[in-house]
Amino acid sequence: MHKPVSVAVVGLGYWGPNIVRNLQELPEAEVVAVCDMRESALAKTAQRYPSVKQLRSFAQVLEDDSIEAVAIATPVSTHFELASAALAAGKHVFVEKPLAASAEEALSLLGLADESDRVLMPGHTFLYSPPVNAVRDIIQNGDLGEIYFISTSRVNLGLHQSDVSVAWDLGPHDFSILRYWLEETPHYVSTMSRSCVLPGIPDVAFINLEFPSGAIAHAELAWLAPSKLRRTTVVGSQKMVVYDDTSNEPVRIFDTGVDLPDPETFGEYRLSYRTGEIVSPYVKPAEPLYLELQDFCASVREGSVPRSSSLLGYEVVRMIEAVEESINSGGARVAIDQLGAIPRAA
């Protein structure tokens, strides 16, 4: 077994403490320091983990040679500055999703990681969720046939962000899952949205995504909803799947479809509809964040590309940017270039 990766966790807001807890439980990692400007946040951690260093400035993190890697859980607007400084200081970097506040920033980070030969990994936690992987397996092994379309709803009441739209807040979840399932980036997106509560902050968005393969996807994202909904339907030519993260049966496979025999004489089509059994496979529960941080440690020690790769993180940021561009231009259909030469570090 490798020596544990020594990590500093930067940012102890909502998510940071979860990272600390999971790293503590992980044999492959060791939390050597936490960093936050707020005394109160540090004090809380100190009480739980008295042996962990409490650092008030990020410079201290950078200077500390005992720290091999940083896990950044600060607001999105700071990701670029912190991550690039950490890479420049020779640290491996795990950064919460989205990877950066713009595609330009994200691309810079990929370049820096490449130059410094360090790991750069965005925290797209859903890629480590057991139901998401169960659905990916079903798609990959061809059970669904051709993917016709995907429709997803991710809505609940709150929490409005004061600086970014619902697309920046909730979009990374669905965009990363779609990229992971379909292994392609949409070439067109368009979005209808509205800023219902706060002026200039879209809190509901209906997002269309068109993929090169012909698959289309629709994502409804909202901070305003009568009840929490996490429901994704994948319709294939052979079978269909419903993935619902709030259900006791998160994955349901429907042996349902439509068969198209050869057109008969006179060009008439006769379709036959097939309704078969419905199966809820058993999906063994596991904490995605634990698996994600394990993957980070493996990529640090073994040089492997993490499932939540920097390339995927970059693509997600490009998708969000295109969505924002569509919103800002009244719902226009916005093209996304397909990447040609892919940065090596991805």
CB of 58 to a second copy, least distance (A): 25
CB of 6 to a second copy, least distance (A): 21
Determine, following the binding rule CB under 8 A, whether residue 235 of this chain makes contact with a second copy: yes
Determine, following the binding rule CB under 8 A, whether residue 75 of this chain makes contact with a second copy: no
Stretch that binds a second copy, among 27-35, 100-108, 135-143, 327-335 (CB under 8 A): 327-335
At a CB cut-off of 8 Å and minimum separation 6, what does 2 contact? Answer: 28, 297, 301, 302
Give the Cα separation of 129 and 210 in Å (integer). 25
On whether the CB atoms of residues 136 and 181 are closer than 8 A, the answer is yes
Q: Which is nearer to a second copy, 61 or 242 (CB)?
A: 242
CB of 138 to a second copy, least distance (A): 13
Among 30, 255, 287, 325, the residue binding a second copy under the rule CB under 8 A is: 255
CB of 249 to a second copy, least distance (A): 6
Give the Cα separation of 7 and 61 in Å (integer). 10
Stretch that binds a second copy, among 52-60, 84-92, 102-110, 149-157 (CB under 8 A): 149-157
Determine, following the binding rule CB under 8 A, whether residue 335 of this chain makes contact with a second copy: no
On whether the CB atoms of residues 105 and 254 are closer than 8 A, the answer is no
At a CB cut-off of 8 Å and minimum separation 6, what does 248 contact? Answer: none
Stretch that binds a second copy, among 69-77, 148-156, 286-294, 338-346 (CB under 8 A): 148-156
Q: How many residues bind a second copy (CB under 8 A)?
A: 64
CB of 304 to a second copy, least distance (A): 32
Residues 273-302 that bind a second copy (CB under 8 A): 273, 275-282
At a CB cut-off of 8 Å and minimum separation 6, what does 109 contact? Answer: 80, 83, 84, 87, 93, 99, 100, 120, 310
Give the Cα separation of 149 and 232 in Å (integer). 11
Alpha carbons within 13 A on the beta-carbon side of 2:
15
Among 88, 333, 338, 339, the residue binding a second copy under the rule CB under 8 A is: 333
Residues 164-203 that bind a second copy (CB under 8 A): 188, 190, 192-194, 196-198
Stretch that binds a second copy, among 120-128, 175-183, 250-258, 287-295 (CB under 8 A): 250-258
Give the Cα separation of 88 and 73 in Å (integer). 18
- The bridge status of strand 240-244 relative to strand 229-236 is antiparallel
Closest alpha carbon to 123 in 62, 74, 77:
74
Closest alpha carbon to 323 in 169, 99, 117, 136:
169
On whether the CB atoms of residues 336 and 203 are closer than 8 A, the answer is no
The site map against a second copy for 22-61 (x = CB under 8 A) is --------------------------x-x-----------
Residues that bind a second copy (CB under 8 A): 48, 50, 148-149, 151, 153, 157-160, 162, 188, 190, 192-194, 196-198, 204, 206, 208, 210, 214, 216, 218, 220, 222-227, 233, 235, 237, 240-242, 248-249, 252, 254-258, 260, 268-269, 271, 273, 275-282, 330-333
